[in-house]
Structure 1
Amino acid sequence: MKILHLNTYAGNGGAGKASLRLSKALQKQGIQSEVAVNFLFKSNPQVHNLSKGFFFKWLTAVGILLERLANKIFVKHLPIPFSIPLWGKNISSREILESVDLIHVHWINHAFLRPQDLAKLARLNKPIVWTFHDSNAFTGGCHVRYSCDHYELECGNCPVLKNSNPNDLSHRIWKQKSEAYKQINFTIVAPSRWMAESVSKSKLLKSRPKINIPNTLDTGIFKPFSQAESRKILGLSPGKFILMSGFMPSRKDQHKGTSYLIEGLETFANEHHLEIENIELVIFGNRDTRNLPEFPFKTTFLGTISNEDRLAICYNAADVFLAPSLEDNLPYTVLECLACGTPVVAFNTGGIPDMVEHKINGYLAEHRSSADLAAGISWMFKHPKKELLQANARAHVMSYFSETVVANRHVELYNSLLNDHVSA
């Protein structure tokens, strides 16, 4: 069995990580698995570059930039990602695709595979699996839907577009996808139950075969480690109660729920005013220094952490990880810190309930309630058996998200599709 994974980037973003991690997990199970990407930021011998050479690399880069320019023209200035499939690449005649048994598609936006480019893969006559890392495949362009239900029909009247009407750009993109999908068969992998339910509601893909298989991670890297030693390595206070969060842009951020987190922290600080000197907030990831919010505790910024071993040390240094995302498929920060035995406080939304078991390995707060988020932090702060929460966090990941478990579920799916293909 030889599998090829297709993704726009290698290791960038959740989908980039997921495709590489899944491929490695499959390799450990004896499967020939490779990854090919449309744009490679730096050389990686483990990844096939579909835009090789100076000319093709920069041609691809121009396509990505032009797509972003089109967004500025047609899309409102909102923190809601939207893709306009204006440029793409026909890869159906590439030798690497001819040589594999099954094609596994992941995230293919940013001038990679437009709907019509995806449809051309049908000529290869190979089983195709498509993992949905966000909602774009079944919407008229948006990647994050929030409360919008237009995807349940045919999009149009899009609240994200500057020019919104029944036949607007979102409806036309939806129609492009509808025509393309009629030409190609594929099986959908939904990493979370929430994503599977969303697909089932969409007019575009609700009748397609789908299966819920989560993303995986290397539990040999993301594993429990001495908290004291982790804090020593990072230069953090040894005796404080440490709250940790990742990717903290500004109070204006919408998707990651920054405003709710700040309000929750302020409420928690007011309730535990006398103990405030013993609490510290630690943040890793990018930060917008121009719009940096004020926090009620001493706050340490660790910057962007690209090395996975060091990221695991960060998770191990914390008493609790805070994930206030308002909509997320299966966020890796939550999965990674649970694998390290660090409990999570998060909103009950998206795929997060697949990972966080309420009051067993963390706390699921009422969606968009900063008060309940504060209650969750307080519950963690006061919990008499933190070691039990830590053990539960690790055990849940090993049972449902480990490389062996996830790889085997994919192998079962691949075998089923290949057997059906042969007998067809």
Structure 2
Amino acid sequence: MKVVHLNTYEGNGGAGRACLRLSDALNSSGAESKVMVYFQFKPSSKTGSFSNGPFQKAKAVFNILSERYLSKALTKAELKTPFSLQWFGRSVIDHPDVKNADIIHLHWINHGFLSPKFLAEIDELEKPVVWTFHDSNAFTGGCHVRYSCENYFKECGFCPLLKLSGKNDISHQTWLRKKKAYSELNCHIVAPSRWMANSVKLSSLMGFREVTVIPNTIETNVFKPYVKSEAKKILKINPHKFVLMSGFMPSKNDKHKGTSYLVDALNDLASRPGILKENIELIIFGNKDNVDMPEFPFKTTFLGTIANDEHLAKCYSAADVFITPSLEDNLPNTVMESLACATPVVAFQTGGIPDMVRHLENGYLAEYKSSEDLATGIEWLYHEDNGPDIQKEARRTILTQFSEAVIAEKHLLLYQSLIDLQPK
């Protein structure tokens, strides 16, 4: 079975990583899987690119930058919520890898890649199309993160993100373009989480489509537990310290990452009786620099961006708890990576996180937007005597429900069922 995956970038962001991981899992299970991306930041042996020559690369850069900067110009800067216009795009149907595939699997296709017009065009190939929704954009008039907005239940319009909002605003016009394209495109939706599947069913654009819930996968031979005391020594941390970890990013672009809640929770934790501040250390990865960093109440080590997954796994293993304050997330890779390394997770009960974190079993699900409850989850693990069993349960969750073989098999069964439905 030949499968081609289409994604805007290689390995950039959660969708890019999830796409590559799935392709590797499918290849290991006997399929012939390939990832094709719109733009590569550097040459890669792991993916093919639709933008190889100088002219194609220049056009891709123009599309990407135009999409991003025009979106910023038309949306309210203070809201910091990702929004896509999808005015720019390119055709993919004449590429040999697309034409020769048995299954075309779409992933994150924004930033000037597949606009509604070029999505609809894929139906001309008369092949089964699968589309994994890594965020909400496919069924909204432009936003990638919805929060409490319910405009996508109808036809969008009156968008709270736009500077010029009204009945026939850009979100409504985009909704209409998507509606026309989707009426021409036969595709099967994969939702990585139950939350995403429920959101799709509520949408006016995609509510009538079939949806299958299949989680993302992870490299369980890479993201695996290391002895905590040894992992702490690698990071030059006292092995007797209780280590907090977070994938913190200064919230300049995406307010849904919940940075302020993390800061408030740690300040709350530090003030509680029985919490010895000198016994706790915070490690942070993922930040590009230390500019505009808030002050944390505990000794803090900034690891920066970690490109090596094996080293990242050791960082997860060094932590006694991984904290993610995300306010809306589909199936965040960091949560899955942490659990795979046997590190319990404390997070808000939101999005697809409850599909991975089992409350008081492999982590703690805090009340939504409650910094106090987030702190209570950390405190629970700080005082918990049953830590080793919680860590084992974290790893077991990944092996039984999210491992490569499990997720590849679910996709292959779906692919085959769609192929069987094709006219003979």
Matched residue of 1:6: which SS? Answer: strand
- Taking a change above 3 Å as real, the CA distance of residues 7 and 274 of structure 1, as seen in their structure-2 partners, is closer
Within 5 Å, which residues of 2 pair with 1:43-192?
Answer: 43-77=43-77, 78-192=79-193
Distance 1:356 1:199 in 2: 22
- Taking a change above 3 Å as real, the CA distance of residues 101 and 63 of structure 1, as seen in their structure-2 partners, is same
> Quick check: 1:350 aligned with 2:351?
yes
How far residue 422 of structure 1 moved from its aligned partner, in angstroms, is: 3.8
Greater Cα offset, 119-128 or 282-291:
282-291
Letter in 1 for 2:316: Y
- Taking a change above 3 Å as real, the CA distance of residues 274 and 22 of structure 1, as seen in their structure-2 partners, is closer
Q: Is the 8 A contact 1:251 1:293 kept in 2?
A: no
- Taking a change above 3 Å as real, the CA distance of residues 420 and 283 of structure 1, as seen in their structure-2 partners, is same
User: Which position in structure 2 is the counterpart of 1:417?
Assistant: 418
Q: Is the 8 A contact 1:252 1:258 kept in 2?
A: no
User: Which position in structure 2 is the counterpart of 1:371?
Assistant: 372
Q: Alignment length, in residue pairs?
A: 423
Matched residue of 2:141: which SS? Answer: coil
Q: Runs of at least 4 residues of structure 1 off by over 6 A?
A: none
Greater Cα offset, 233-242 or 128-137:
233-242
Matched residue of 1:103: which SS? Answer: strand
Matched residue of 2:138: which SS? Answer: helix
Q: Is the 8 A contact 2:5 2:106 kept in 1?
A: yes
Q: Is the 8 A contact 2:242 2:320 kept in 1?
A: yes
Matched residue of 2:255: which SS? Answer: coil
User: Which position in structure 1 is the counterpart of 2:2?
Assistant: 2
Letter in 1 for 2:408: A
User: Which position in structure 1 is the counterpart of 2:195?
Assistant: 194
Letter in 1 for 2:210: P
> Quick check: 1:268 aligned with 2:285?
no
Q: Is the 8 A contact 1:253 1:259 kept in 2?
A: no
User: Which position in structure 1 is the counterpart of 2:41?
Assistant: 41
Matched residue of 1:242: which SS? Answer: strand
Matched residue of 2:323: which SS? Answer: strand
How far residue 237 of structure 1 moved from its aligned partner, in angstroms, is: 2.3
How far residue 269 of structure 1 moved from its aligned partner, in angstroms, is: 0.4
After superposition, what is the alpha-carbon deviation per residue over 1:169-214, rounded to whole angstroms, capped at 9, x for unaligned? 0000000000000001000000000000000100110010110000
User: Which position in structure 1 is the counterpart of 2:20?
Assistant: 20
After superposition, what is the alpha-carbon deviation per residue over 1:365-406, rounded to whole angstroms, capped at 9, x for unaligned? 000001111111111101111000000000011111000000
- Unaligned runs of 5+ residues in structure 2 are none
After superposition, what is the alpha-carbon deviation per residue over 1:255-310, rounded to whole angstroms, capped at 9, x for unaligned? 11111111111111000476110001110012553321111101110000111111
User: Which position in structure 1 is the counterpart of 2:363?
Assistant: 362
Matched residue of 2:291: which SS? Answer: helix
- Taking a change above 3 Å as real, the CA distance of residues 272 and 279 of structure 1, as seen in their structure-2 partners, is farther
Matched residue of 1:255: which SS? Answer: helix
Greater Cα offset, 267-276 or 153-162:
267-276
Matched residue of 1:262: which SS? Answer: helix
User: Which position in structure 1 is the counterpart of 2:317?
Assistant: 316
Letter in 1 for 2:103: L
Q: Is the 8 A contact 1:192 1:214 kept in 2?
A: yes
How far residue 66 of structure 1 moved from its aligned partner, in angstroms, is: 0.9
Aligned-pair RMSD on alpha carbons? Answer: 1.2
After superposition, what is the alpha-carbon deviation per residue over 1:111-145, rounded to whole angstroms, capped at 9, x for unaligned? 00001100000110000000000000000000000
TM-score relative to the length of structure 2: 0.98
Letter in 1 for 2:109: I
How far residue 92 of structure 1 moved from its aligned partner, in angstroms, is: 1.2
User: Which position in structure 1 is the counterpart of 2:388?
Assistant: 387
User: Which position in structure 2 is the counterpart of 1:329?
Assistant: 330
Matched residue of 1:395: which SS? Answer: helix
- Taking a change above 3 Å as real, the CA distance of residues 252 and 33 of structure 1, as seen in their structure-2 partners, is closer
Distance 2:222 2:386 in 1: 25
Q: Is the 8 A contact 1:250 1:293 kept in 2?
A: no
Distance 2:68 2:123 in 1: 29
How far residue 230 of structure 1 moved from its aligned partner, in angstroms, is: 1.1
- Taking a change above 3 Å as real, the CA distance of residues 113 and 285 of structure 1, as seen in their structure-2 partners, is same
Distance 1:72 1:344 in 2: 33
TM-score relative to the length of structure 1: 0.98
Greater Cα offset, 245-254 or 387-396:
245-254
Q: Is the 8 A contact 1:251 1:292 kept in 2?
A: no
| Identical-pair percentage | 55
Distance 2:287 2:295 in 1: 16
Q: Is the 8 A contact 2:83 2:142 kept in 1?
A: yes
- Taking a change above 3 Å as real, the CA distance of residues 168 and 288 of structure 1, as seen in their structure-2 partners, is farther
- Taking a change above 3 Å as real, the CA distance of residues 94 and 253 of structure 1, as seen in their structure-2 partners, is closer
Matched residue of 1:299: which SS? Answer: strand
Q: Is the 8 A contact 2:29 2:405 kept in 1?
A: yes
Distance 1:253 1:11 in 2: 19
> Quick check: 1:301 aligned with 2:305?
no
How far residue 234 of structure 1 moved from its aligned partner, in angstroms, is: 1.7
How far residue 69 of structure 1 moved from its aligned partner, in angstroms, is: 1.9
Distance 2:190 2:93 in 1: 22
Distance 2:119 2:253 in 1: 36
Letter in 2 for 1:381: Y
Matched residue of 2:110: which SS? Answer: coil
Distance 2:146 2:352 in 1: 14
Matched residue of 1:96: which SS? Answer: helix
- Unaligned runs of 5+ residues in structure 1 are none
- Taking a change above 3 Å as real, the CA distance of residues 170 and 251 of structure 1, as seen in their structure-2 partners, is closer
Distance 2:45 2:252 in 1: 40
Distance 1:16 1:410 in 2: 17
Distance 2:179 2:251 in 1: 37
